[in-house]
């Protein structure tokens, strides 16, 4: 993953906060659907805007991070 750790943590917090407040979201479906993943991203606040510090990220980098965050939620504790 190309995303810096601090940026990953910020994204993780925003997505997990959104998912915790919306427990009806099917994470398995989100892992299979690019559109669904990006809907989650934008509903969670879209952690990355056009800010200069995020210019190194592409959509593929962000999508990979979103998938990683969603997979981590599926792992048993």
Query: Can you give the pLDDT of all 77 residues of the chain as single tens digits?
Result: 789 999 899 999 999 999 999 999 999 999 999 999 999 999 998 766 657 677 888 889 999 999 999 999 998 76
The pLDDT of residue 76:
75
Residue 1 is predicted with a pLDDT of: 76
Amino acid 59: pLDDT: 87
Predicted pLDDT of residue 60: 92
**By the 8 A CB rule, do 2 and 57 touch?**
yes
CA distances from 16 to 13, 51, 53, 70 (A): 5, 22, 22, 9
């Amino acid at each position: 993953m190309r995303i810096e750790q601090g940026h990953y943590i910020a994204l993780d917090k925003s997505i997990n906060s959104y998912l915790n407040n919306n427990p009806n979201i099917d994470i398995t479906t989100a892992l299979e659907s690019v559109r669904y993943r990006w809907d989650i991203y934008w509903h969670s606040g879209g952690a990355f805007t056009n800010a200069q510090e995020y210019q190194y990220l592409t959509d593929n980098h962000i999508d990979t991070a979103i998938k990683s965050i969603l997979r981590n939620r599926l792992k048993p504790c």
